[in-house]
Amino acid sequence: MRACPQLVLILSAIAAVDGAAGSNCRHGRPKNGNSIPDVSANPYLATAKDASSIIPTISTTVESAKTGQAQTAVSTEKPQVTEPTIDAGDIQPQELDTSSQNTASLSTSRQTRSTMAALKEPAKKFCGKPNESEVLFGTPWIVFSMNYNYQSIKGSSCWSVLWDIDPTVGTNLVKGYNFIGLTQGLETRLSDIKSIPSKYEWTTSKTTDYKGNVVYDFMTSDTKGDSTTSKAQELMLWLNWQGGQVTIGWGEGPIATIDGLFGKDGWKLYQGVNADTGITVSSLLCPEDGQFGDEDGGSFEGDIKDWLVALSKEGVFKSDTYVNVGNAGMEPYYGTVDFDNHLSLRINV
Protein backbone atom coordinates (compact mmCIF):
# COMPACT_ATOMS: atom_id res chain seq x y z
CA MET A 1 0.00 0.00 0.00
CA ARG A 2 1.31 3.41 -0.92
CA ALA A 3 0.20 6.32 1.26
CA CYS A 4 0.30 9.98 0.41
CA PRO A 5 2.10 11.97 3.10
CA GLN A 6 -0.48 13.13 5.62
CA LEU A 7 -0.44 16.83 6.35
CA VAL A 8 -2.35 18.50 9.12
CA LEU A 9 -3.02 21.98 7.81
CA ILE A 10 -4.01 24.62 10.35
CA LEU A 11 -5.16 27.63 8.39
CA SER A 12 -6.93 30.89 9.06
CA ALA A 13 -9.28 32.40 6.50
CA ILE A 14 -10.68 35.87 6.66
CA ALA A 15 -13.84 37.00 4.93
CA ALA A 16 -15.33 40.41 5.55
CA VAL A 17 -18.23 40.39 3.16
CA ASP A 18 -21.38 42.42 2.68
CA GLY A 19 -24.21 40.62 0.94
CA ALA A 20 -25.13 41.93 -2.47
CA ALA A 21 -28.05 41.29 -4.78
CA GLY A 22 -27.61 37.94 -6.43
CA SER A 23 -29.14 34.76 -7.70
CA ASN A 24 -30.93 32.03 -5.81
CA CYS A 25 -29.25 29.63 -3.40
CA ARG A 26 -26.63 27.61 -5.21
CA HIS A 27 -24.24 24.85 -4.31
CA GLY A 28 -21.61 23.12 -6.34
CA ARG A 29 -18.63 24.20 -8.34
CA PRO A 30 -18.94 27.00 -10.91
CA LYS A 31 -17.92 26.39 -14.50
CA ASN A 32 -14.37 27.62 -14.02
CA GLY A 33 -13.80 26.36 -10.51
CA ASN A 34 -12.36 22.96 -11.19
CA SER A 35 -8.90 23.50 -12.61
CA ILE A 36 -5.97 22.67 -10.38
CA PRO A 37 -2.45 23.74 -11.34
CA ASP A 38 -0.15 21.01 -12.63
CA VAL A 39 1.82 19.55 -9.77
CA SER A 40 3.24 16.61 -11.67
CA ALA A 41 6.74 17.93 -11.06
CA ASN A 42 6.29 17.34 -7.33
CA PRO A 43 6.74 13.66 -6.39
CA TYR A 44 5.61 12.29 -3.06
CA LEU A 45 7.94 13.18 -0.24
CA ALA A 46 10.16 10.25 0.60
CA THR A 47 10.53 11.10 4.27
CA ALA A 48 9.59 13.74 6.79
CA LYS A 49 13.26 14.75 6.80
CA ASP A 50 12.98 15.61 3.10
CA ALA A 51 9.87 17.61 3.89
CA SER A 52 11.75 19.79 6.36
CA SER A 53 13.67 21.44 3.55
CA ILE A 54 10.91 22.02 1.02
CA ILE A 55 7.50 22.33 2.70
CA PRO A 56 6.58 26.02 2.89
CA THR A 57 5.15 27.69 5.94
CA ILE A 58 1.56 28.71 5.33
CA SER A 59 -0.02 31.64 7.08
CA THR A 60 -2.76 34.08 6.24
CA THR A 61 -3.00 37.83 6.53
CA VAL A 62 -5.89 40.23 6.35
CA GLU A 63 -6.18 43.33 4.23
CA SER A 64 -8.73 46.06 4.91
CA ALA A 65 -11.45 45.88 2.30
CA LYS A 66 -11.23 49.05 0.20
CA THR A 67 -12.05 47.87 -3.28
CA GLY A 68 -15.47 46.40 -2.60
CA GLN A 69 -14.29 43.04 -3.92
CA ALA A 70 -12.91 39.85 -2.48
CA GLN A 71 -9.35 39.88 -1.18
CA THR A 72 -7.31 36.85 -0.25
CA ALA A 73 -3.85 37.05 1.27
CA VAL A 74 -1.83 33.86 1.67
CA SER A 75 1.80 33.75 2.74
CA THR A 76 3.84 30.96 1.18
CA GLU A 77 7.22 31.64 2.69
CA LYS A 78 9.91 29.30 1.43
CA PRO A 79 12.41 28.08 4.03
CA GLN A 80 16.12 28.31 3.33
CA VAL A 81 18.64 26.15 5.14
CA THR A 82 20.88 27.97 7.63
CA GLU A 83 23.70 26.94 9.92
CA PRO A 84 22.66 25.64 13.36
CA THR A 85 24.56 28.45 15.10
CA ILE A 86 22.35 31.17 13.62
CA ASP A 87 19.76 32.63 15.96
CA ALA A 88 16.52 32.80 14.01
CA GLY A 89 14.80 34.85 16.71
CA ASP A 90 11.20 35.52 15.85
CA ILE A 91 11.12 33.38 12.71
CA GLN A 92 7.90 31.39 12.16
CA PRO A 93 8.99 28.04 10.68
CA GLN A 94 6.77 25.06 10.10
CA GLU A 95 6.65 22.38 12.77
CA LEU A 96 7.24 18.88 11.42
CA ASP A 97 6.31 15.64 13.10
CA THR A 98 9.05 13.19 12.11
CA SER A 99 7.61 10.24 14.03
CA SER A 100 6.62 8.56 10.77
CA GLN A 101 8.07 8.64 7.27
CA ASN A 102 4.54 8.75 5.88
CA THR A 103 3.28 11.70 7.89
CA ALA A 104 4.20 15.31 8.28
CA SER A 105 2.50 18.10 10.16
CA LEU A 106 2.37 21.68 9.00
CA SER A 107 1.31 24.36 11.46
CA THR A 108 0.63 28.06 11.08
CA SER A 109 0.87 28.77 14.78
CA ARG A 110 3.79 30.94 15.88
CA GLN A 111 6.85 28.91 16.79
CA THR A 112 10.04 29.53 18.73
CA ARG A 113 13.39 30.01 17.03
CA SER A 114 14.56 27.44 14.51
CA THR A 115 18.02 26.33 13.42
CA MET A 116 16.54 24.64 10.33
CA ALA A 117 15.05 27.44 8.28
CA ALA A 118 14.97 31.18 7.82
CA LEU A 119 11.88 32.54 6.07
CA LYS A 120 12.63 35.25 3.53
CA GLU A 121 9.98 35.54 0.84
CA PRO A 122 7.18 38.08 1.43
CA ALA A 123 3.51 37.17 1.39
CA LYS A 124 1.76 36.52 -1.89
CA LYS A 125 -1.67 38.12 -2.11
CA PHE A 126 -4.74 37.12 -4.10
CA CYS A 127 -7.09 40.09 -4.35
CA GLY A 128 -10.28 40.84 -6.20
CA LYS A 129 -10.52 37.78 -8.45
CA PRO A 130 -12.29 34.41 -8.24
CA ASN A 131 -10.72 30.98 -8.12
CA GLU A 132 -7.21 31.94 -7.01
CA SER A 133 -5.01 29.36 -5.38
CA GLU A 134 -1.58 28.39 -4.10
CA VAL A 135 -0.12 24.92 -4.63
CA LEU A 136 1.96 23.82 -1.64
CA PHE A 137 4.78 22.15 -3.53
CA GLY A 138 6.13 19.02 -1.92
CA THR A 139 2.77 18.37 -0.26
CA PRO A 140 -0.53 16.86 -1.42
CA TRP A 141 -2.34 20.17 -0.88
CA ILE A 142 -3.69 23.24 -2.61
CA VAL A 143 -5.08 26.29 -0.78
CA PHE A 144 -8.03 27.60 -2.77
CA SER A 145 -10.13 30.74 -2.38
CA MET A 146 -13.00 30.02 -4.74
CA ASN A 147 -14.94 33.28 -4.77
CA TYR A 148 -17.14 32.41 -7.73
CA ASN A 149 -19.61 35.14 -6.77
CA TYR A 150 -16.83 37.64 -6.11
CA GLN A 151 -18.70 40.40 -7.93
CA SER A 152 -21.37 40.12 -5.25
CA ILE A 153 -18.85 40.29 -2.40
CA LYS A 154 -17.91 43.50 -0.65
CA GLY A 155 -14.89 42.82 1.52
CA SER A 156 -12.57 39.83 1.61
CA SER A 157 -12.63 36.05 1.74
CA CYS A 158 -9.52 34.18 2.87
CA TRP A 159 -8.54 31.11 4.87
CA SER A 160 -9.43 30.69 8.39
CA VAL A 161 -12.78 32.37 7.90
CA LEU A 162 -13.99 35.61 9.30
CA TRP A 163 -17.32 36.51 7.80
CA ASP A 164 -18.87 39.95 8.12
CA ILE A 165 -21.77 39.67 5.70
CA ASP A 166 -24.99 41.70 5.71
CA PRO A 167 -27.87 39.23 6.21
CA THR A 168 -30.49 41.50 4.66
CA VAL A 169 -29.06 41.51 1.13
CA GLY A 170 -28.39 38.42 -0.97
CA THR A 171 -29.55 36.24 1.92
CA ASN A 172 -29.81 33.05 -0.12
CA LEU A 173 -26.73 33.66 -2.27
CA VAL A 174 -23.73 31.52 -1.40
CA LYS A 175 -20.76 33.88 -1.72
CA GLY A 176 -18.01 31.36 -2.39
CA TYR A 177 -16.10 28.37 -1.09
CA ASN A 178 -12.81 28.52 0.84
CA PHE A 179 -11.19 25.13 1.02
CA ILE A 180 -8.11 22.94 1.22
CA GLY A 181 -7.89 20.48 -1.66
CA LEU A 182 -5.84 17.43 -2.53
CA THR A 183 -3.38 17.41 -5.42
CA GLN A 184 -2.07 13.85 -4.96
CA GLY A 185 -3.74 10.46 -4.99
CA LEU A 186 -6.50 11.71 -7.28
CA GLU A 187 -7.62 10.35 -10.67
CA THR A 188 -7.66 6.92 -9.06
CA ARG A 189 -10.48 4.40 -9.30
CA LEU A 190 -12.52 4.19 -6.11
CA SER A 191 -12.08 0.42 -6.12
CA ASP A 192 -8.28 0.89 -6.05
CA ILE A 193 -8.32 3.29 -3.10
CA LYS A 194 -7.58 1.65 0.26
CA SER A 195 -8.84 4.50 2.43
CA ILE A 196 -9.28 8.27 2.63
CA PRO A 197 -8.69 9.07 6.32
CA SER A 198 -9.59 12.57 7.41
CA LYS A 199 -10.00 14.67 10.50
CA TYR A 200 -11.61 18.11 10.50
CA GLU A 201 -11.93 20.36 13.54
CA TRP A 202 -13.31 23.89 13.56
CA THR A 203 -14.20 26.47 16.19
CA THR A 204 -16.22 29.64 15.80
CA SER A 205 -16.28 33.01 17.51
CA LYS A 206 -19.38 34.88 16.42
CA THR A 207 -20.94 38.22 17.21
CA THR A 208 -24.09 37.66 15.13
CA ASP A 209 -26.10 34.76 13.78
CA TYR A 210 -24.64 33.35 10.59
CA LYS A 211 -25.61 31.20 7.64
CA GLY A 212 -23.16 28.74 6.15
CA ASN A 213 -21.91 25.17 6.20
CA VAL A 214 -18.93 22.87 6.70
CA VAL A 215 -18.57 20.34 3.89
CA TYR A 216 -16.42 17.86 2.04
CA ASP A 217 -16.67 18.26 -1.73
CA PHE A 218 -15.49 15.50 -4.08
CA MET A 219 -15.95 14.91 -7.79
CA THR A 220 -16.07 11.59 -9.59
CA SER A 221 -16.48 10.44 -13.17
CA ASP A 222 -16.22 7.32 -15.28
CA THR A 223 -13.56 9.29 -17.18
CA LYS A 224 -10.18 9.82 -15.54
CA GLY A 225 -9.60 13.49 -14.76
CA ASP A 226 -13.09 14.68 -15.72
CA SER A 227 -14.54 17.26 -13.34
CA THR A 228 -16.14 19.68 -15.80
CA THR A 229 -18.48 17.80 -18.13
CA SER A 230 -22.09 16.90 -17.41
CA LYS A 231 -20.99 13.28 -17.05
CA ALA A 232 -19.05 14.12 -13.88
CA GLN A 233 -20.62 13.86 -10.43
CA GLU A 234 -20.22 16.40 -7.66
CA LEU A 235 -20.56 14.96 -4.16
CA MET A 236 -21.06 17.01 -1.02
CA LEU A 237 -20.92 15.70 2.54
CA TRP A 238 -22.59 18.16 4.91
CA LEU A 239 -21.24 17.93 8.45
CA ASN A 240 -22.76 21.10 9.88
CA TRP A 241 -24.93 23.94 8.65
CA GLN A 242 -26.42 27.00 10.29
CA GLY A 243 -28.99 29.63 9.36
CA GLY A 244 -31.50 27.46 7.52
CA GLN A 245 -29.25 26.65 4.59
CA VAL A 246 -30.56 24.09 2.08
CA THR A 247 -28.96 22.20 -0.76
CA ILE A 248 -29.68 21.59 -4.42
CA GLY A 249 -32.64 19.21 -4.71
CA TRP A 250 -34.05 20.15 -1.31
CA GLY A 251 -37.44 21.08 -2.75
CA GLU A 252 -37.86 17.65 -4.31
CA GLY A 253 -37.06 15.88 -1.05
CA PRO A 254 -34.45 13.22 -0.28
CA ILE A 255 -33.99 10.37 -2.75
CA ALA A 256 -32.52 8.01 -0.15
CA THR A 257 -31.80 7.59 3.55
CA ILE A 258 -28.50 6.05 4.65
CA ASP A 259 -27.95 4.55 8.11
CA GLY A 260 -24.81 3.52 9.96
CA LEU A 261 -22.47 6.04 8.35
CA PHE A 262 -19.85 7.67 10.61
CA GLY A 263 -21.77 6.44 13.65
CA LYS A 264 -25.07 8.08 12.70
CA ASP A 265 -28.37 6.93 11.23
CA GLY A 266 -30.71 8.99 9.10
CA TRP A 267 -28.39 10.62 6.56
CA LYS A 268 -30.52 12.19 3.81
CA LEU A 269 -29.37 12.18 0.19
CA TYR A 270 -30.51 15.05 -2.04
CA GLN A 271 -29.80 15.35 -5.73
CA GLY A 272 -30.17 18.01 -8.38
CA VAL A 273 -28.44 19.57 -11.36
CA ASN A 274 -26.29 22.67 -10.95
CA ALA A 275 -27.79 24.96 -13.59
CA ASP A 276 -24.47 26.77 -14.03
CA THR A 277 -22.43 23.65 -14.84
CA GLY A 278 -24.90 20.99 -15.89
CA ILE A 279 -23.30 18.66 -13.34
CA THR A 280 -25.45 16.55 -11.04
CA VAL A 281 -24.81 17.37 -7.37
CA SER A 282 -25.46 14.66 -4.78
CA SER A 283 -25.50 16.08 -1.25
CA LEU A 284 -25.56 13.82 1.80
CA LEU A 285 -26.70 15.62 4.95
CA CYS A 286 -26.24 14.20 8.41
CA PRO A 287 -29.35 14.18 10.64
CA GLU A 288 -30.27 17.77 11.45
CA ASP A 289 -30.58 16.95 15.14
CA GLY A 290 -27.29 15.05 15.09
CA GLN A 291 -24.91 17.35 13.26
CA PHE A 292 -21.18 17.30 13.89
CA GLY A 293 -20.94 20.22 16.28
CA ASP A 294 -23.06 23.33 16.57
CA GLU A 295 -22.82 27.07 16.01
CA ASP A 296 -19.78 27.20 18.30
CA GLY A 297 -17.75 24.65 16.34
CA GLY A 298 -17.40 20.94 15.84
CA SER A 299 -15.23 18.03 14.79
CA PHE A 300 -15.34 15.05 12.46
CA GLU A 301 -13.09 12.05 11.97
CA GLY A 302 -13.62 9.17 9.59
CA ASP A 303 -12.75 7.38 6.38
CA ILE A 304 -14.16 9.45 3.52
CA LYS A 305 -14.14 6.34 1.33
CA ASP A 306 -17.04 5.02 3.45
CA TRP A 307 -19.16 7.93 2.22
CA LEU A 308 -18.21 7.34 -1.41
CA VAL A 309 -18.92 3.61 -1.15
CA ALA A 310 -22.31 4.35 0.41
CA LEU A 311 -23.18 6.60 -2.54
CA SER A 312 -22.08 3.96 -5.03
CA LYS A 313 -24.39 1.46 -3.34
CA GLU A 314 -27.24 3.93 -3.88
CA GLY A 315 -26.45 3.97 -7.59
CA VAL A 316 -25.02 7.50 -7.71
CA PHE A 317 -21.96 6.18 -9.58
CA LYS A 318 -20.17 2.91 -10.29
CA SER A 319 -17.91 1.34 -7.69
CA ASP A 320 -14.94 1.66 -10.05
CA THR A 321 -15.49 5.34 -10.88
CA TYR A 322 -12.52 7.71 -10.82
CA VAL A 323 -12.08 10.03 -7.83
CA ASN A 324 -10.85 13.18 -9.58
CA VAL A 325 -11.28 15.99 -7.03
CA GLY A 326 -11.25 16.03 -3.22
CA ASN A 327 -11.40 18.90 -0.74
CA ALA A 328 -13.06 20.27 2.40
CA GLY A 329 -14.03 23.75 3.50
CA MET A 330 -16.80 26.24 4.19
CA GLU A 331 -19.43 28.11 2.18
CA PRO A 332 -20.35 31.60 3.46
CA TYR A 333 -23.77 33.24 3.18
CA TYR A 334 -23.91 35.93 5.87
CA GLY A 335 -23.02 36.79 9.44
CA THR A 336 -20.09 38.01 11.51
CA VAL A 337 -18.10 35.00 12.63
CA ASP A 338 -14.48 33.82 12.85
CA PHE A 339 -13.72 30.19 11.99
CA ASP A 340 -10.51 28.41 12.97
CA ASN A 341 -10.00 25.28 10.85
CA HIS A 342 -7.78 22.24 11.40
CA LEU A 343 -7.90 19.70 8.58
CA SER A 344 -6.06 16.52 7.65
CA LEU A 345 -6.91 14.52 4.53
CA ARG A 346 -5.11 11.98 2.37
CA ILE A 347 -5.77 9.19 -0.12
CA ASN A 348 -4.18 5.78 0.47
CA VAL A 349 -3.84 3.63 -2.65
pLDDT tier, 101 (very low <50, low <70, confident <90, very high otherwise): very low
Neighbours of 24 (CB within 10 A): 8
Contacts of 313 (CB under 8 A, 6+ apart): none
Report pLDDT digits (tens) over 178-212: 778 899 999 999 999 999 999 999 988 877 788 88
Average pLDDT, stretch 122-144?
A: 58
Measured between alpha carbons, how far is 115 from 195 in angstroms, rounded to an integer? 36
Report pLDDT digits (tens) over 213-230: 999 999 999 999 999 999
In this predicted structure, what is the pLDDT of residue 175?
A: 63
> CB-hemisphere CA count at 13 Å for 14?
17
Q: What is the CATH number of domain 6-345?
A: 2.60.120.180
In this predicted structure, what is the pLDDT of residue 255?
A: 98
Contacts of 177 (CB under 8 A, 6+ apart): 29, 33, 144, 146, 148, 217, 329, 330, 331
Report pLDDT digits (tens) over 226-279: 999 999 999 999 999 988 889 999 999 999 999 999 999 999 999 999 998 999
Q: Where are the domains of the chain?
A: 6-345
In this predicted structure, what is the pLDDT of residue 294?
A: 92
Nearest to 179 by CA among 268, 74, 287: 74
Higher-confidence position of 77 and 193: 193
Calculate the alpha carbon distances from 275 to 5, 21, 226 in Å: 37, 19, 18
The long-range contacts involving 93-96, CB below 8 angstroms and separated by at least 24 positions, are: 93/57, 93/117, 93/119, 94/55, 94/56, 94/57, 94/58, 96/48, 96/51, 96/52, 96/55
Contacts of 256 (CB under 8 A, 6+ apart): 268, 269, 314
Report pLDDT digits (tens) over 32-65: 444 444 433 333 223 232 322 222 223 322 222 2
Percentage of the chain beyond pLDDT 70 is: 50
Contacts of 41 (CB under 8 A, 6+ apart): none
Can you give the pTM of this predicted structure? 0.64
Average pLDDT, stretch 290-305?
A: 95
Higher-confidence position of 125 and 282: 282
Higher-confidence position of 243 and 89: 243
